[in-house]
Chains A and B, each alone.
Chain A
């Protein structure tokens, strides 16, 4: 299922609609069987916030997590405004099933505009409920929750390392991978 619509940086994992963990694949979706909730399909077809930030940017936190049982990899990045401590932008790149992609997409939407300590309270169950994930796909939402936490942790680790001087000039480049 190759996308021919130009070279927009779509989530590379988008080609794998529904082929994780042995569940119904594209055939089922085409046949009209509701294998995926509409929101999941929506995030797959209209991905939000796919992309990459420069991970060396001091205001970027990168969370990289994986689910070895399915072979999924998820990268979620946040850009933090130093002054307010709020997340001003977020992006993701996920290789995995539709549920994993949708979960990370939702995560990036939900963290935008929020302070870091608040996003740490985002629970996988909320993401799962929003996407009506079946039990077998709950771990995908868990992956997204872990990715958020990892991104925040990374940002904070960077800040600690860099010390207390407030001379950061946030670089506005968004590096496309």
Chain B
């Protein structure tokens, strides 16, 4: 599910114009190059199934600028510089630049806590500029760009608005790919989750359900904070564990929502 980014790598060469100054370095070798600041040694089969070298990694490391606006290149239509997603001068929608990450789209630093940044407002502003409905009279080329850009922005918004997906995205940007196939048998963790799901399924009235729901949300908060801490310390092993727990709690919350 997290493999998309790598496929678009080759577009960087085609789509970029003269304006790009920093993006042309060849990607660093994928196999066992950990990101610069990680002290995490790449194991072959770690206990929780994490391994290095996801496809998207080299692309992401090219654009290490933490804050917004990947710069933007020259507009294909009018030639003005600094065209980021859409051109500020003529309004033409630009082709998707695979080197731009979701945080850059919203002008955010690459970090887990993004509260108070008016994500929704910025999302709406982007859609006002990129939405395919606004370009129906433009060229087929530009309509294509608009379809892709607005889809990208929707994806970015959804990923960043949800804590778990945001956490997983951050890990992905660090080159960490979580093995989907890994089964775990940590008895304590699984017992807890089993009992939780049983409680949800046995609950018959909305009061009980709401109570359970708020308990689970509390746990989500705790582990969300745990992720924050681990991520900030670059303790990616703990960070992944935190996301695993968050996933279980989110599933449980979904069940309560369905029943309510």
Contact = CB atoms under 8 A, between A and B. Distances in A.
Given A15-B258, A69-B182, A142-B181, A64 B194 contact: yes
B155 to A, nearest CB: 13
A68 B201 contact: no
Contact of B184 (A15, A22, A65, A142): A65
B193 A73 contact: yes
A95 B197 CA distance: 7
Q: Would you call the interface of chain B mostly helix, strand, loop, or mixed?
A: helix
B201 A15 contact: yes
A71 interface: yes
B197 A73 contact: yes
Contacts of A70: 180, 247, 251
A72 B218 CA distance: 20
- Majority DSSP secondary structure for residues of A touching B: mixed
Contact of B190 (A12, A19, A21, A64): A64
Contacts, number: 85
A177 B181 CA distance: 29
B182 A67 contact: yes
B248 interface: yes
B259 interface: yes
Interface string A54-91: 00000000011111111101010000000000000000
A143 interface: yes
B179 A71 contact: no
Contacts of B201: 12-13, 15, 95
A75 B194 contact: yes
Interface string A12-33: 1101100101100000000000
B191 A68 contact: no
Given A12-B198, A95-B197, A139-B181, A68 B247 contact: yes
A13 B255 CA distance: 9
B172 to A, nearest CB: 13
Contact of B189 (A66, A95, A138, A146): A66
Interface in B174-208: 178-187, 189-191, 193-194, 197-198, 200-202
Nearest to B185: A65
Nearest to A21: B1
Interface of B: 1, 48, 178-187, 189-191, 193-194, 197-198, 200-202, 244, 247-248, 250-252, 254-255, 258-259
Given A15-B201, A66-B183, A68-B184, 14 more contacts: A12-B200, A13-B201, A63-B185, A64-B185, A64-B191, A67-B180, A68-B247, A68-B248, A71-B251, A73-B190, A93-B194, A139-B183, A146-B183, A177-B198
29 contacts: A12-B197, A12-B198, A12-B200, A13-B201, A15-B201, A15-B255, A64-B194, A65-B184, A66-B183, A66-B189, A66-B248, A67-B181, A67-B184, A68-B48, A68-B244, A68-B248, A69-B178, A69-B180, A69-B244, A71-B248, A75-B194, A93-B198, A95-B193, A95-B194, A95-B197, A95-B201, A139-B180, A142-B183, A146-B183
What 9 pairs across the A-B complex have the smallest Cβ distances?
A: A12-B201, A71-B251, A68-B244, A69-B180, A95-B197, A71-B247, A139-B181, A146-B183, A64-B190
Interface of A: 2, 12-13, 15-16, 19, 21-22, 63-71, 73, 75, 93, 95, 138-139, 142-143, 146, 150, 177
